[in-house]
Structure 1
Amino acid sequence: MIPLEDAVATLQMQGDAQKAAEMRKYHKVDRPYFGVANPVIDAAAKAWRAEVTLDERLTLASELWDSNIHECRIAAAKLLVQARIKPDDAAWRLIASWVPQFDGWAIADHVSSAGGRRLLAEPARLDEVEGWTRSDHLWTKRAALVMTLPWTKMNNPGPDELQARERILGWAADYTRDPAWFIQKAVSWWLRELGRHDAPRVRKFLADHGDAMKPSARKDASRKLPPA
């Protein structure tokens, strides 16, 4: 088991005070920052993953998250970024417990990367994620799209995957009526990624729902579409 104090110290000693101040100003979230670059956090998380059991990893991830330090929360997410975790129910429950605590895009996106792998491993969890789409918490609502981005990247989706994709596009259609910038941006991100693999479906979505989107979001959604 890696003590929390040792893990925090590993990150803190590689920090930079000036960068920490810049990060605090940029992210606009009041929490401690060490000023550690993401590749350094990634290397630390990979080393820790190799040293501990799954249960120990989950404990460390939970403790790092609860520290509320920016880099520690990112490290917590990176500890769970793995395609195969068996059993993974506890990992999913931990990830899902963090979602209501999201307060900015940076940490949320790292957690969503881990969560997306757990959703692919057990797509039935989309039932739970669908509940997030009705949340009054902007970051929870946004996570429903960011965490399901893996469904945009399938070159040859099967029937079940296409059904899931259509389900998520239904959420995105509802989101087009939400004026919040981060929600509009999430819709455009999902569509832009899907457009790399299924441009006709994105064009249909924009034809059906594009008028409800902010012009900048609609433009961003179609930015990578090939010529019709």
Structure 2
Amino acid sequence: METMCCMENEEQRQILQRFFKTGKGQYGEGDRFLGLKVPQTRMVVKEARLQVPLGEIEALLYSEWHEVRLCGFLLLVEEMKAALPKRKGIGQPDRRKEIADFYLLHARQANNWDLVDLSCSYILGTFLLHPLSDGSLPTRMILDSLSSSRNLWEQRISIVSTAALIKERQYDDTLRIARKLLHHPHDLIHKAVGWMLREVGKKDIEVLRHFLSAHHTSMPRTALRYAIEKMKPEERKRWMATSRTGNQIGRTNE
């Protein structure tokens, strides 16, 4: 914390406060920044990784400073990496569960999109891929519970966490959560849903096309644009041309 405070940068602070929408009525209202760039925070994490107990990480997560909270979440990412199986071993399943439970307990402290996106798939998503100590896999209903939350950031965690599953060509959870969040009122969820659908398409374009065939006429246009971003221009035009116009529900001042 002291190290990070010594790196304060007023000019960068002002840029970050605008970029992360900290003004009155915006999604990041009241968030405070030291003015550090992510590589600077990662440098601190690299020096402290695997040396900070969960009790101290908790204190970081409840800091008033955005970058300090990010540091706490990135330290959790490192803890999860260390608990993963090495080659054919099982790793540390009890430790993985402890870290995932800790993350879920404090998930609302990831109260801006970068804090979510830089942590959830590497912690929760990774946790869901590996067996518990009894050999069973963690329940994916964790994602459904998060998607049903009234908290914007927990809802974003529910869909972005599936990035880890997509890498393993497991798409069902992404598609299920995407359907649940498809008509969410907030633009940040539209973007996250579209982003994850795009990641599915990068692995299997036919899975994405099948989803779009069923839902593209009712999708928020932001989600649709994100989902088809990697398609060829001609195909993108066809999807956009056949989508319903004016369905951009819940526009924000982002």
TM-score range, shorter chain: 0.7 to 0.9
2:210 corresponds in structure 1 to 204
Give the match's secondary structure for 1:124: coil
Identity %: 23
1:191 corresponds in structure 2 to 197
Q: 2:31 aligned with 1:17, yes or no?
A: no
Q: Structure 1 220/32 Cα, relative in aligned 2: closer, same or farther at 3 Å? A: closer
2:100 corresponds in structure 1 to 92
CA shift at 1:10, angstroms?
A: 0.8
In structure 2, C-alpha distance between the alignment counterparts of 1:121 and 1:75, rounded to whole Å: 25
**For structure 1, which segment, 190-199 or 23-32, has the greater mean C-alpha deviation from structure 2 after superposition?**
23-32
Q: TM-score normalized by structure 1?
A: 0.83
In structure 2, C-alpha distance between the alignment counterparts of 1:113 and 1:174, rounded to whole Å: 19
In structure 1, C-alpha distance between the alignment counterparts of 2:61 and 2:140, rounded to whole Å: 24
Instruction: State the Cα deviation string for residues 8-31 of structure 1 (Å, max 9, x = none).
Output: 111111221221122223221313
One of 168, 173, 185 as aligned partner of 2:174: 168
CA shift at 1:216, angstroms?
A: 3.0
Task: Structure 2: give runs of 5+ residues left out of the alignment.
Answer: 23-27, 84-91, 132-136, 236-254
Task: Structure 1: give runs of 5+ residues left out of the alignment.
Answer: 1-7
**For structure 1, which segment, 122-131 or 92-101, has the greater mean C-alpha deviation from structure 2 after superposition?**
122-131
Give the match's secondary structure for 1:80: helix
In structure 2, C-alpha distance between the alignment counterparts of 1:59 and 1:110, rounded to whole Å: 21
Amino acid at match of 2:60: L
1:103 corresponds in structure 2 to 111
**For structure 1, which segment, 93-102 or 60-69, has the greater mean C-alpha deviation from structure 2 after superposition?**
93-102
Amino acid at match of 1:148: T
Instruction: State the Cα deviation string for residues 60-84 of structure 1 (Å, max 9, x = none).
Output: 2111112231111100011021334
Give the match's secondary structure for 1:212: coil
Q: TM-score normalized by structure 2?
A: 0.75
CA shift at 1:119, angstroms?
A: 2.6
The residue correspondences of 1:135-174 to structure 2 (distance < 5 A) are 135-154=149-168, 157=169, 162=170, 165-174=171-180
**For structure 1, which segment, 190-199 or 122-131, has the greater mean C-alpha deviation from structure 2 after superposition?**
122-131
Structure with the largest fraction of helix? 1
Alignment RMSD (CA, Å): 2.0
**For structure 1, which segment, 129-138 or 111-120, has the greater mean C-alpha deviation from structure 2 after superposition?**
111-120
In structure 1, C-alpha distance between the alignment counterparts of 2:122 and 2:55, rounded to whole Å: 16
In structure 1, C-alpha distance between the alignment counterparts of 2:54 and 2:110, rounded to whole Å: 19
Instruction: State the Cα deviation string for residues 171-209 of structure 1 (Å, max 9, x = none).
Output: 211222223211211110011111111100000000011
Alignment coverage as a number of residue pairs: 209
In structure 2, C-alpha distance between the alignment counterparts of 1:9 and 1:167, rounded to whole Å: 41
